[in-house]
Structure 1
Amino acid sequence: MAIYGANAAGKSNVIHALLLMREMVCGSFAKPLKGDELPYEPFAFVDGETDPTAFEIIYYYDGIKYAYGFSFDNDRIINEYLYHWPNGREALVFSREKDQYEFRESIQEQLTLAGRTSENRLYLTSSNEWNCAQTEKAYLWFQQKLRGLITTGVSNETTIDAIRKGGEDKKNVVKEMMLADLGICNVVLSGTKEKPIVSTVHQLTDDNGNQKQYTLQLGQESVGTQRFFSRIGLWMDAMNSGAVLVVDEIEASMHPLLTRHLIEMIQDQTINQNHAQLIFTTHDTGLLDLKLLRRDQIW
């Protein structure tokens, strides 16, 4: 899904909302200490008292539909709820209004877990620390299936992991890097696990027709090549796991044909066999092509 719009129209906030949900469920904001402030950022253009931030998302995990939502302010979770459709019919898993909970299954056990959940933590998170079967799969979707990339944070970690694994994982990364920069014939990893050093191997032909190889550190490559390197591992990982990949400004610092190639990989069912999904924001009108995207994929 491609999201277009003017500057300050709110495109990036769609991506940030999805990723903040993930951070609150299983990321950096998932385990606040009692009394810690929540990542509350209310609407700025309002006089007087501000409303809570509220999120709701509907998703599928292992063929079962879930609807999960919560709201919060600076200090506490105000409400939280989870529904599922195990037999095609809606059923409540739990609901919460501040410290008041309602459950349908394993009521006494879950009331005990609710009592261990501080006012500034999500029950979906805290219950899974105690292996709660009723909320496990709903939680795993956030942990396993929702991946994100924003322009302010570029990480090579996923691509480096693929190179470290070797075999088909590394082969696929090298293949895509050859597409990004026709001179690259290999990617080599050195250094330590904590401080890896990524080098690219270039094969060049001199005036006499002799082939020679030269090595560059990744930081010496063009910004576009570095950006493609950081993204290709995330793309491969998402397609292997059938994840939902959300990306802000997909075209940032990359050649338009490389951007198009990343989208085509997701659209190609022979490559994307596990049905990974891509949601991205962009200003690139060159992607407004009905040979690339259906009309209903453009917002």
Structure 2
Amino acid sequence: MLIEFSVSNYRSFRDRQTLSMVASPRLSKARNVFSAGTSTEKLPDLLKVAAIYGPNASGKSSLIRAMGIVGRLLATPAGIHGDVLPVASFRFDETLREAPSVFEYDFVQSGLRYRFVLALTAQRIVHEQLLCYPKGKETLLYNHQVDSLGEHYTFGKALEGGKNVHCAWRRLTSPRMLFIAQAVTHSSEELTQLRAPFCWFQRGLLVVEQSNMQGLSTASIRFLQMVESHTSDLRDFLCALDIPVSAIQLSSEHSTAPPDNRKMTLKEFIAAAQGDKLTLTHASISGEAEFDFAEESCGTKNLIGFWLPWFMMNQAGGSGVLCVDELNSSLHPEIVGVLIGKHLDSGLNTQLIFTTHDTHLMNEKILRRDQFWISERDAYGATSLFSVHDFEGRESEDVEKRYFEGRYRGLPLIRQG
């Protein structure tokens, strides 16, 4: 579960901006929050949903991309990063062009709170730090820092393995690799301390960008070919959202499923699905008809693609985080509202974070003031991120009306004439 995420010097984010999932203690709607208490410390309640609004080009998509940076690094095989790492600094400030982009994650995994800090340029990783908080006390696991004097590693006394193992992990970590990935990959079964935070990034934090949606649609069907027992889940998911699909078929170039397919990442499912052909059978009063996937509407394709990360989030031990760029893309507002309602009523400690332009969701009957976030860019091209709850107002106020009145800012400035 995510507590908060911060980013600075990345794309339109110049100064440090933070998306917090910490719930305000004075607002109602108990189904919208859950307890983040761990076995070692008491934490504030966390929000199940965060909806991010703002004009086009205000930084919403960049925020989702930023949250997925660690996942992209983990999904790239060692030595195949290409010429540059997937970051871009804030371009309107000359002093930041050569400075690293910085990403900070505070999260809970397996009953323990962690803080992971990552700083990198297009050429290399310059800072990587992992802290944990047993009994609420900050404890260093490791720190990797590169500066003008060279490369420095500091290993905390609590980090398992011993000096020889730590040195081996260090030698295996190249400038473009994450230390945590190399440590977990080259650990014996007895060394498990870093596996929990590593698995949170690999499978617990799922990031869906619009450019991935078509590949995800095919990957959803590929997954069902591997695990046939869940075929009815996708069919029922679509039917519940008024998509009358009675059967789904896949013609695949792959004769066998890869091993341990239930533990594959989204990237691996997409790669495995290349070359597959999808056929969906639709039912009506007149009978049934088959349609090739290419003939389906954008909305149906997006829903099929969305189903796989939705399923994976709800199967991740009840602690998954799903981040989606433009959740409302090609979907009717009622469908988006139903999806959010299903998530809130799931009974799981899972979180849904999404960007949208659909202001119908700005409804106090569905979400709380602290669940609406606004992004906007200033005259210098820098993105600011803030919550509606930061503004003075009542819990029962018409959030949508006040948003269009400009009370929370975050509206496009359109020139007339």
> Same fold by TM (over 0.5)?
yes
Question: Structure 1 residues 287 and 79, CA, compared in 2 at 3 Å: closer, same or farther?
Answer: same
Say whether the 8 Å CA contact 1:158–1:234 is kept in structure 2: no
Q: Structure 1 unaligned segments of length 5 or more: list them.
A: 207-211
Paired residue type of 1:201: T
| CA distance, structure 2, for counterparts of residue 160 and residue 142 of structure 1 | 24
| CA distance, structure 2, for counterparts of residue 35 and residue 119 of structure 1 | 13
Question: Structure 1 residues 162 and 32, CA, compared in 2 at 3 Å: closer, same or farther?
Answer: closer
Of 99, 107, 121, the match for 1:73: 121
Residue in 2 that maps onto 1:15: 64
Superposition map of 1:52-201 within 5 A: 52-98=100-146, 99-103=151-155, 104=157, 105=159, 106-131=162-187, 133-154=192-213, 155-164=216-225, 165-167=227-229, 169-193=230-254, 195-201=275-281
Say whether the 8 Å CA contact 1:180–1:228 is kept in structure 2: no
| CA distance, structure 1, for counterparts of residue 96 and residue 362 of structure 2 | 41
- Give the deviation of 1:48 after TM superposition: 5.2
Residue in 1 that maps onto 2:313: 238
Residue in 2 that maps onto 1:209: none
- Give the deviation of 1:32 after TM superposition: 3.5
CA deviation map 1:8-31 (0-9, x unaligned) = 22111110101112212x112x62
SS of residue matched to 2:210: coil
Residue in 1 that maps onto 2:298: 223
Say whether the 8 Å CA contact 1:61–1:138 is kept in structure 2: yes
In the alignment, does 2:344 pair up with 1:267?
Answer: yes
Paired residue type of 1:142: F
- Give the deviation of 1:119 after TM superposition: 2.2
| CA distance, structure 1, for counterparts of residue 279 and residue 82 of structure 2 | 45
| CA distance, structure 1, for counterparts of residue 321 and residue 96 of structure 2 | 35
| CA distance, structure 2, for counterparts of residue 59 and residue 159 of structure 1 | 27
Say whether the 8 Å CA contact 2:105–2:117 is kept in structure 1: yes
- Give the deviation of 1:260 after TM superposition: 1.5
Aligned residues: 288
Q: Structure 2 unaligned segments of length 5 or more: list them.
A: 1-49, 255-272, 374-417
SS of residue matched to 2:94: coil
- Give the deviation of 1:74 after TM superposition: 2.6
CA deviation map 1:246-268 (0-9, x unaligned) = 00011011111112222122111
SS of residue matched to 1:156: helix
| CA distance, structure 2, for counterparts of residue 97 and residue 35 of structure 1 | 22
SS of residue matched to 1:214: strand
Residue in 2 that maps onto 1:277: 351
| CA distance, structure 1, for counterparts of residue 80 and residue 298 of structure 2 | 39
Residue in 1 that maps onto 2:333: 256
Q: Percent identity?
A: 27
| CA distance, structure 1, for counterparts of residue 244 and residue 172 of structure 2 | 57
- Give the deviation of 1:182 after TM superposition: 4.6
CA deviation map 1:34-59 (0-9, x unaligned) = 99532231111123562211111011
Say whether the 8 Å CA contact 1:35–1:120 is kept in structure 2: no
- Give the deviation of 1:84 after TM superposition: 0.5
| CA distance, structure 1, for counterparts of residue 75 and residue 305 of structure 2 | 20
Say whether the 8 Å CA contact 1:40–1:73 is kept in structure 2: yes
TM-score by length of 1: 0.88
| CA distance, structure 1, for counterparts of residue 280 and residue 186 of structure 2 | 45
**Range that drifts further, 154-163 or 75-84:** 154-163
Paired residue type of 2:61: S
Say whether the 8 Å CA contact 2:117–2:130 is kept in structure 1: yes
SS of residue matched to 2:107: strand
Say whether the 8 Å CA contact 2:145–2:152 is kept in structure 1: yes
**Range that drifts further, 236-245 or 173-182:** 173-182
Question: Structure 1 residues 66 and 112, CA, compared in 2 at 3 Å: closer, same or farther?
Answer: same
TM-score by length of 2: 0.65
Paired residue type of 2:337: R
- Give the deviation of 1:189 after TM superposition: 2.6
Residue in 2 that maps onto 1:27: 75
Higher relative contact order (CA 8 A, sep 6+): 2
Paired residue type of 1:82: L
Residue in 2 that maps onto 1:38: 85
Paired residue type of 1:70: L
